[in-house]
Structure 1
Amino acid sequence: MTRQRPFFVQFLVPAVLVAVIFAAAMFNVLKYSFLEFVPGSLNVGGFTLENFTRINRPIYYWVLLDTFILSFATAFFALLLSYPISFALVRAERNWVRSVLVVLAITPLFTGEIVRTYSWMLVLGSDGVVNTALKSLGVIDRSVPIMYTRVGVVIALVQFAMPVMIILLATAISQINRDCEKAAANLGATPNTVFWWVTIPLTLPGILSGFVVVFAWTMSAFSTPQLIGGGKVLMISNVVYLQGFSSFNLPFAAVLSLVALFAALGSLALMKLLTARLEQNMATS
Structure 2
Amino acid sequence: MDSGRFWELIALLGGRADERTCRTLEAALSPAEGDDLGEEIQRRVDELLDRRSVPASHTGDTAEWIAAAVIAAGRERFERELTQSGPLDPDDWQWEDAESLLVAGFGDDDDPDDGPEAGLDDVSTEALEDGLGLWLQWKSGRLPAGVTTAWDPEVEAALDAPDDPAFGRVPTTDPAWDDALATLAADPEFHRRRALIGDIGLHLLVRDVDGAELRPWPSETEVENVVLTVPAADARTEHDERVADYLEVVVFLVTSTQENLGLEG
- Per the TM superposition, whether the score is higher than 0.5 is no
> Which structure carries more helix by proportion?
1
Structure ID, larger Rg: 1
TM-score (norm. length: structure 2): 0.22
| Larger RCO of the pair (alpha carbons < 8 Å, separation 6+) | 1
